[in-house]
Chain A
């Protein structure tokens, strides 16, 4: 009754250790040691070394996943999406590529607060025009450019906006009057079933580190209940 192909998918083990290169602790000796371990040992974490590498790599993949989940993007004039990130590992490129693949009509800018750097990804056409700009470093990768800058966010946006083509694809549907945070707040509040309230599960699913993000205004607010709510009950 079950599809064999489907069951095969279930057994695919993510090769977390491939992400060790993105880890903050990727010292050469660790990577060299890693090469000497067999795949079976690595995947089964059966030795202390293998377990250590697995945990290191897992912390990278976990961080990537959380950034995909909780990075909120703001739309700037229908052509740029701006988000704030705070990663410990070197995962900016991976997050940028994830968002660029999802929204290829936009140039994506991510502001890394801890590293005080602005990272961006955009179409290859930007290359020529960006060459003349100071304070922006970039590299060409296939059909897109990956760049970074130590300038302020506003400055990077003001450099990129004039050289980007007008994106008319979303004209008419993206309404500047519609407050995105307010829209999400109404949607978020509407999804909650009172009788099922379970704060422990909420905290388990949404680590405190990410709750503290400035973008998480809506999620933070549920704990500050108004008196009206109790009076109604």
Chain B
């Protein structure tokens, strides 16, 4: 019988290819003070007393806490260990397929290992995923048991990301949504055709997109289902019976929303295919964000001889996703900068977008540009743009390099586009023309 530590070693290695594992917090949420949120805690403030506080453990108040970094530079913030690596599916790229040691953690073992690491301040939350042992519902049921032990028995109010397995039933998804902060279904590929090439047992429309739509519908509701609260009471009535009402009333389902992940380059899809799908997901599925995992061949799998995807491609996709999601640059603008074969350019997409967008108007005067255009200039981020707007609103003109530097503008990138004072940087193209 393998020990917990041995299981963690094997199942942790199986879970490392899941990229979508950043934590989320409520501290910046506008709803934090106005509504009682599911499992949220309260700050050590006048409003709360430690008597209320001491019933719980865990917190989601601070964001961006990474407790360690692996040699590949990625952060270790969540307890990312598969529940089981025994998978009945046969995905061509998957690590579980070749794993000789098949192991499954019991819900109790999972909670035990997590609690130790959480109390030691080694992890920030839980990321619960699994191979599909017999069928999706049965596996998810077991995963959910671990979550219920944490939430109901130990009153854990920290972060939980729960992976919805393809083909799971609506009932089990709805039940899971009551306990966790974020759910995700991995798209893996942008279209049905590409998915059938790498994972022919999964149906793109029914197993994945349909489930994403269910999660979207559920996350738009609020927690007022008293029947469900009775159910929770019956599961474990030793803790917080009287508190359940205040704990759940008006709480939001899935406060951190849903995410997804693409395996980039496994099925030969272009960047345009991925970005188009992502745009659709933001629009229709109300996705919080997408993650990209550059394909790297694993020995023993069907795709072992396939060339690995360069990490730079993954990086460019993240940059473009950032521009779409936060800078709100529309997809048709991004299409303009793609190469003939529909891949992103090798350099920073923001520079190409700026050249394309401003073309004849360079050099630009920062003191007259609207906010929407300032954020399109390379080297000026959302925070710097906001600072510039604040100064302008207070009648301060920005016309010195020193001012730009202090604000946080990266002049090396921004200078070719800007007029600073009365001077601007010339480029070779001007003389050639």
Contact = CB atoms under 8 A, between A and B. Distances in A.
Interface of A: 1-2, 5, 8-13, 38, 40, 43-48, 50-51, 65, 68-75, 81, 83, 97-106, 123-124, 142-144, 169-170, 173-175, 178-180, 182-184, 186-193, 195-202, 204-206, 218-219, 222
21 contacts: A8-B30, A9-B28, A40-B393, A43-B387, A44-B391, A46-B391, A46-B396, A48-B406, A72-B120, A102-B158, A142-B49, A178-B4, A178-B5, A178-B112, A179-B5, A180-B117, A186-B12, A187-B8, A187-B9, A187-B81, A193-B296
Interface of B: 4-6, 8-13, 15-17, 28-30, 41, 43-44, 46, 49-51, 53-54, 56-59, 61-62, 64-76, 79-81, 111-113, 115-117, 119-122, 154, 158, 282-283, 296, 308, 311, 326, 328, 382-383, 386-388, 390-391, 393-394, 396, 398, 403, 406-408
Contacts of A179: 5
A72 B121 contact: yes
A100 B112 CA distance: 21
A183 B121 contact: no
B17 A193 contact: yes
A142 to B, nearest CB: 7
B54 A196 contact: no
Contact of B407 (A45, A81, A198): A45
Contacts of A71: 121
Contacts of B70: 188, 191-193, 202, 222
B72 A192 contact: yes
B57 A199 contact: no
Q: Which 10 A-B pairs have the closest CB atoms?
A: A201-B73, A190-B12, A143-B50, A196-B72, A44-B387, A102-B59, A104-B54, A198-B73, A190-B13, A192-B70
Nearest to A195: B296
A113 to B, nearest CB: 17
B65 to A, nearest CB: 5
Task: Identify which of A45, A106, A184, A200 gathers the most chain B CB atoms within 10 Å of its CB.
Answer: A184
Contact of A103 (B57, B79, B282): B57
Contacts of B16: 190-193
A184 B408 contact: no
A206 to B, nearest CB: 5
A200 B6 CA distance: 30
A147 to B, nearest CB: 15
A219 B13 CA distance: 17
Contact of A75 (B81, B119, B394, B407): B119
Contact of A192 (B41, B57, B71): B71
A191 B407 contact: no
Contacts of B406: 44-48, 50-51
Contact of A43 (B61, B66, B121, B390): B390
Contacts of A11: 382-383, 386
Contact of A198 (B53, B57, B71): B71
B115 A124 contact: no
Contact of A102 (B57, B72, B81): B57
A214 B319 CA distance: 36
A178 B53 CA distance: 28
A51 B404 CA distance: 12
B154 A169 contact: yes
A5 B252 CA distance: 16
Contacts of A202: 69-73
A198 B10 CA distance: 23
Given A191-B12, A222-B71, A184 B154 contact: no
A155 to B, nearest CB: 23
A199 B311 CA distance: 15
B117 A102 contact: no
Contacts of B17: 193
A69 B120 contact: no
Contacts of A204: 73
Nearest to A83: B121
A227 B54 CA distance: 49
B19 to A, nearest CB: 10
A97 B17 CA distance: 35
Task: Identify which of B49, B70, B308, B382 gathers the most chain A CB atoms within 10 Å of its CB.
Answer: B70
A46 B43 contact: no
Contacts of A191: 12-13, 15-16, 70, 74, 76, 80
B371 to A, nearest CB: 10
Contacts of B120: 72-75, 180, 184
A65 B57 contact: no
A83 B67 CA distance: 14
Given A10-B382, A72-B122, A74-B120, A2 B50 contact: no
Contact of B154 (A2, A106, A170): A170
B73 to A, nearest CB: 3
B8 A190 contact: yes
Contact of B44 (A1, A8, A97): A97
A2 B66 CA distance: 27
B116 A187 contact: no
